[in-house]
Structure formats: structure tokens, C-alpha cells
Structure 1
Amino acid sequence: MMDNVTVITMLTLSGLNGTANYRVTLFAVTVLCYCVILLVNVTIIATIIGDKSLHEPMYIFLCNLCINGLYGTAGFYPKFLHDLLSSTQVISHAGCLLQGFVLHSSACADASLLALMAYDRYVAICRPLMYHSVMTKQRISLFVFFAWIVPFYVLFLSTITSTSRLCGSNIPKIYCVNSLVNNLACSASIAANVIPGFNYTFYTGHALFVVWTYLYMVKICLKSKEDMSRFMQTCLPHVFSVTMFTVCLLFDLLYMRLSSRDLSQNVQNFMAMEFLLIPPIINPLIYGYKLSKIRKRILHFICGKCF
């Protein structure tokens, strides 16, 4: 005899509740932001791919960082724009898991790529004579491969633990997050706690490696004005990106883990969006401005088209 149990297949995203009066304005601003994200990231990607002089480790990692920015934002903006124009904000259980997978794997790939960029600068500045023997084409290919495949694998494990039968349907956010889906499960799963815990520990190790790398480089570069000038030219964008990534991620984690009852819905939505708004726009801009090779190549292309 089968139990008369309702199977929940559709979930509600309640983060847009109370925004009905200005959704058209929010839609227009969001479209503008997404267009800027697409423009600046595609510009950097096309510049690096199209110029053979930029086929160096630092620029290859930057190209992948921009590709990852497009990948992550594609998991959020189209659905969010659709929700802004809809009277109800719903998503299927499978669609929710897919969105959570894309957003989480993009964040983890960002961490891996930033760690690779830190390692590249460490070898270039602290072990310059070994740079070309360490950063070979084969090794770079392996680094990039693992920077993508490891986040996909660990997040796939985390996602499949969120497929339990649900006893609730409300996601109090503007997009899906695996932990919120797990909270709706009818029964607690050990794997749903162990695997995310492993993921947090694994990527905390990435963060500690990046911090140690830059502190060591600063220590080395302080001994020489020439080295410090080189550090400021090539490493400052990386330091800025890492800092921005960390701050945005911490804000999102604090918002998720701590009580948000005292925050307005607008503030909650901004805290949820900032990770998908600020780094994808600022990263290409800061690298395009600070790295002279990219800046000159873009200006040359623009001037060639205009004159």
C-alpha cells in the first residue's frame, strides 16, 4: 500500500517579495549590468585569444577567470530577469539543483584560478630563473584542467546529496543554494553535511595558500625597488581581485549563516547579488587597466576601428 505523500517538484524563490513597485526599474538596471559583464569579459577573452603575444601563463589564467565569470553569471541573470517580469517566481527542483551547481562551481573555480594566478606570480617573482621550466605549456594545461574539473567534481557530489524528498518548497533567496535546498529535505543526511564541510575546508586551504604567497612576495619585493615596482604592476590586480572575491564571499556566507531578520529585503538581495555583480565587472576592468599589454592591445584595436 502506497503512502499518500505529495511529491514537491516546484520551488518558490521568495527573495523578490515586496519589490513589485520597482521591478521594471530593477529589470532595466539588471539588463544594463549584465550587458556590461558580457562586454568587458568577452573583450578580455577575445583580446587574449586573438593576440599570440598574450599566450603566457598569467594571461591564460586571466582568460579562464573571465570565462568563468561568464559561466557563473549565466546561471543567474537570465533566470533572475525572467523572474522580474513574472508574477510568480518558481523553479523546478531539478532546475534549482542545476542553478546551485553552476553558481557554487563557478565560485570554487574562481578560488582555484586565483590560487593559480598567485602561484604564477610567486614563481615569476621569487623563482625567476625557474619560471620557464616550471610554467611549461603541458603544466599550464594540467593546472587549468584541474582548476575546472575539481570544482565540478566536488560540487557534483554536493549537489547529488540535495536530491532527497522535500517537505517544503520555499527558498528565501533570489536564486538557489544547495544548503537551502537541504534545509527543505524531509530527513537529514550525513552526506549533506560532510561533503560541504570538506568543500569549505578544501577551499579554505586555497585561501591560506594565496595569503601566504602574497605575504611572501611582499617580503621578498621589499628588498628591491625594482622588484616592488614589478609587484605593483603585475600583482596589484591579483591582490585586488582576491580581496574583492574574499569580501564578497564572506558577505554572502554571513548572510546565509547569520540571522537576516533585521535586514530589509533590498539589502538581503544586494548581499545575495554582489558576488555575481562586482567581481565579474571589476576583474576585467582592473586587469585591462593595470596590465599594460592588454590595455595597449585593446586601445590599438579601438583606435584602429575609429580612425
Structure 2
Amino acid sequence: MRVTANHLTFLRIILLPLPCFLLYGGPEAKLTALGIGSLLGLTDFLDGKLARRHGSTPLGAFLDPIADKIFIVALYTFLSHLGFLPLWVAGGVFIRELLVSSLRRKVPGALAVTWLAKMKTTIQMFVAALVVAIVTFPGHTFYFLLGAGVILVFGGILARLNLIKFLLVVFMALGLLLLSFLAIPQIVLILGSVALLVTWLSALDYLKIAFSSISLKDFLKVLPGALWPAVVLVFSSQAGSWWILIPLVVVLLFLREALLFFKKEKAQEIVPLVFFLLALLAMLTKELIPVYLIVSSVFLVFENISLFISARPTLFRRT
């Protein structure tokens, strides 16, 4: 059987929980999580090559970007829960990703993907792996940063970047070496801030086009949906054993947003606002948080099933 791009994308999604849960083990388990996570990240590059070689399908065009987003949001949710990354870094990344995705449904025509936007996911994964390595093995921080710098420069050479972009990559690599003089918490804070900064810088072009194309009213309609996962993430310290529902809710929110491209109804714009307001209410009473997470999970599971059924004829259309 020929391995297709879709097979690799499905593999990336199915195996994603494995490295996330391994992060809760000892150093050996975390090292295994790094290895598996790196291999899963590599499938993103390989399925792109296979898609270009054999041709893309509607299902593949849908799955590849959403698989990347699910990979990042799940990973950053777990890293924030473990204290490896500040909560505001993960929340800031989630808000940007959902905001741009929501605006894509509102802005007439397609928003062009910039070079920085293409690099964004790679940098997010790169920072996550580096943070796990440094926190788990602090005595080898210099070597991790040196290796990361070498990988950056080598990647820039393989990508055949122009002079300005390549010099930027070299500057980043040198900056990583300078970080070795700082304490681990400071290094983590800087790396997380860089990931968040790149994430939002990559959104500037999208936001500029969106603000010139849609009304303030339409923008305010998508804002609760963009804030929804960040608010849910705040429940991490108060959810207790129900915390495991938080990554599920966050992943389902991103899947929902992707499926909404195939079914644009006004009724579904009210859903994020309602659940966003309910989340604010749940913040006032700790006992309501498990109830909120259960209701959100159940609702999103059934809504995503409904949206998938509606999108199925388009996703499985033969090209």
C-alpha cells in the first residue's frame, strides 16, 4: 500500500497524546516524548512533499493545517499545566490562532500566507522542544542551545533563504548561545516570549487586511470565540482532576473552527459568546468549573460530529 500525505497527517494526530502524557514521566520519559514529538513534527515536512508529488486532496488540504494547530495547542496546553511555559504564552498563542482562523471566514477572498506565517509553526515546535530539554536536563543547557543554533543555521541553508532572511536566522542562532549565561527560568521566559512574539508578528498582515475588509461589528463577533480557549486555560489551577478535559476542549475548539468553513451559519456565531460568558461565570465559583468543562466537552463533541457530517461531501470529493 502506498503511503500518502493523508496517512502521515492522520498518524500525527493519532499519536499526539503519547508525547503529551510522557511529559509527566521522569527524565527518560520526557526524552522519549522529545523524540516522538520530533518525529511527529517531521511528518509535517514529509506529508507536504508527498502532497506535492502525488497531488493534494480536499481532505488533505483540510487536515494538514488543522493537524499543525492541534499539535501546537495540545502541546502548549500540557506544557503550561506542567509549568514549563507561562500560562499567558499558551493563551496568547491560542488567541492569535483562533482569531486569524475566524477572520479568514469573514474576509472576502483568501488571505495570503506570508513567509513568517509559514515559519511560525516550526518556531513554536522548536521552542517547545527546547524548553522541555532545558528544563529536564538543566546541566546540558549550553549544548542544547548550541545544537539548536546549528539546526537553525543548517535549516536556513537547506531552505535557500535570501541574504536578509538568512542573516536573521544566524542572528537568532547567536542569540540562543547568549541565553546560556542566564538562569533556566529566564531562558524559558525569553523563549516563550519569542514564540509568542513571532506568533503575533505573523498575524499583522492578516489583521491589517481584516480591519480594512470587515466592520467593527463583525470583528467583535469573532472575538469571544478567539478568547474562549484562553479563558478555559485559566481553569488549569482550579480544575483538579477534571483538568484533563481542558486540552480536549481546546483541541475541539480548533477543530470546530476549521469545520465552520464548510457551514457558515449565524446561529453558530452565538455559541462562542454563550460559552465565553458561561466561562466568566464559572470563574466566580470553583465548583462550577468541572460542570462547565463537562458541558463544553459534550457539546463540542456533538457539534463537531454534526459539522463533519455536513462537510463530508466536500472533504471526500474526488479530484
Q: Which has the higher helix share?
A: 2
Normalising by the residue count of structure 2, what TM-score does the alignment of the two structures yield? Answer: 0.31
Greater relative CO, 1 or 2 (CA 8 Å, sep 6+) = 1
